Structures are given as C-alpha cells and as structure tokens.
Amino acid sequence: MNSSLVGNQSGRPFCLLAISYLETINFCLLEVVIIVFLMVLIISGNIIVIFVFHCAPLLNHHTTSYFIQTMAYADLLVGVSCLVPSLSLLHYPIVLSESLVCQIFGYVVSVLKSVSMASLACISIDRYIAITKPLTYNTLVTPWRLRICILFIWLYSCLVFLPSFHWGKPGYHGDVFQWCANSWNTDPYFTLFIVVMLYAPAAFIVCFTYFNIFRICQQHTKEINERRVRFSSQDGEAGEAQPCPDKRYAMVLFRITSVFYILWLPYIIYFLLESSNVYSNRVASFLTTWLAISNSFCNCVIYSLSNSVFQKGLKRLSGAVCASCARQRVAKDSSTSRSKRSSNGCHV
C-alpha cells in the first residue's frame, strides 16, 4: 500500500499493482491490460449471447430466458462501464471530479452485479416451481409476472446500493481511482446491510432451491427406472435408465450459479475483512474485484457450452453471418467483373 503512495509522490502514476514500470510509460500498464482484456471479452461475449437469443426462437420458449437475457444485458453494461477506469488509468481527462466519478462507477457496477445475483436466484426459484408444481406452472409463471419480477430486480438493486454515496464504499470497483482507495472507506454497518439485504438471501435461495431440485430429480429418476424395469421384465426386454428431463437444464443453470459464487467468494470475503478492519491490501482488492467482474464473461461461455439449443442458435447465427459475407463477396466480384468488361468495351 505504501509503495503505491510513494510512487505517486515521485511523479509516477497511482497504481494498485506495485511493479516496476518503464520510464517511457506513464500509466499503469498491467492494470490497463487486465481491464481492457476483460472489457473486450465481456462486451463481445454478451453481444453474441444477446444476438443468439434474438435469432433462436426456441430459446425464448423457456421462461428462464427472460432472466438469462437480463443477466446478459447487465453483464454487457458491466463491460461498457469498464471503459471508465481504463480511461482513468490512461490519464484521459474526465470532466467530473474524481470522487464523484469513482462513486458513480462503484455504484453502477454494484447495481449491475446485484441484478445478476438476483437473476440467478430468480432462475433457481423458476426451476423449483417448474419441478414441484408442473401442472400449475403456466398459470403461476406468466410473461407479465416475469416482466414485473425483472423490473423489481432492477429497482431493488438500485435502492440497496443507493446509501453508498453517504454511508460508505459498496465494494472495491472504484479503487483504481486514487480518491476511492485513499478517502472512500467501507462501513461495517453498511457491509452488514448489504449482506443481509442481498448476499445472504440470494445464497440461501440458490442453495435451498437447487438442493431440492436435485433431490426431486433423483427421486423421479429412481421411480421412472423402477417402472421401466418392471414393464421391461414383463415384456422380456431390458430397460435403459432414463434421467429426469429437467435435470440437464437445471445442471446448466447450476453450473452458471456455481461459477458465479466461486468467482465472487474471494471478493465477498475480502469485502467483509476490509469492512471489519481485519485485513486491507490494495493488490488483493484489485485482484478479487476484477476476478468477480470476470464472471460477466463466464456466464455466456458456460451457457454456450452447456445448452444444446443455444449451440444450434449460435451455429445458425454464424451461418447467417458467413452467408451474408459470401453474398457480399459475390456481389463485389460481379461488380468488379462488370466494370472490367465495360472498360474493355470503351477501349474497343
């Protein structure tokens, strides 16, 4: 921590990762590389997810697609917001004061990640209702109720982190700014408020719903296999074990949720330790923060690798792009050949 401050007093840029820089480079090279790299991955990955959802109508048959798309839009905005610390580390002139910029940036990123966390909790509730009440699912989960739920997620996330402007730092998203690192402190009561209002309920809902989902799926699989064995023994044919139909899709969503909490666990632990004045380190602050933000790219990767319908939609989108490029190439070649023929005619 002191090395960064000393480096700043000697004329070097304020950098959280204290490494030796070349004299010709007047910005935090390693921080810029990490942030820009994540920004490109997050923006490109989530744009692909959004386009695939619009090009693959089958994906919209699942009600969870509402929440998946909400997460994709929130993660896309996280990637766009990463442009702010990149410009700051590159010493790009910003009109607003540094304190206001870092507060707004920390608030915006906290709200967007809260939307992702709440969406994952709602997805688990949706799958729990689909498995426990399949006959009344369509009457309970309707499109307008889903839209109201998504609107509530955004409003709730905005309200939960709104006191951060006066109460204390909501996280470490703004520590690339010197004012945030030196002057904007965390408050243990505000940390407890966020844990009680967001982290703890979301984690409890996810653990409760997925535990019961897999327990019910295991029970259904056992009953189905017992029936198949009973009927196949009567017919003299060997029956094959059939898994629960909803278990595969639940596993995809469970992987997304698991990776989310795995990447966010170091950040949450450091957040609690810093707020309680137990441990404070700027390098750990930077690494845990951007490790958590990298989840905005992991969501689209896991979903694209795990969901067969999404893979078909991605192939359809890539095929349409390739076909469009081929048509443009053919049109360009034909126009070139016509221009050559016309020029030869003039010479004759």
Residues of the chain below pLDDT 70: 1-28, 56-62, 86-96, 171-177, 229, 231-250, 253, 303-311, 313, 317, 319-326, 330-348
pLDDT in tens, 230-269: 766 555 555 555 555 556 666 776 777 788 778 888 888 8
Characterise 112 by phi-psi region: left (phi > 0), alpha (psi -120 to 50), beta (else).
Answer: alpha
Ordered by start, the domain boundaries in the chain are: 29-228+245-328
What pLDDT score does 331 carry? 66
Domain spanning 29-228+245-328: which CATH class is it, in words?
mainly alpha
What pLDDT score does 348 carry? 40
Instruction: Say how far residue 164 (Cα) sits from the centre of its chain.
Output: 22
Buried b (16+ CB within 10 A) or exposed e, 281-316: ebebbbbbbbbbbbbbbbbbebbbebbebbeebbee
CA distance 193 to 159: 12
What pLDDT score does 246 carry? 59
Instruction: Please state the pTM of the whole predicted model.
Output: 0.74
CA distance 48 to 297: 11
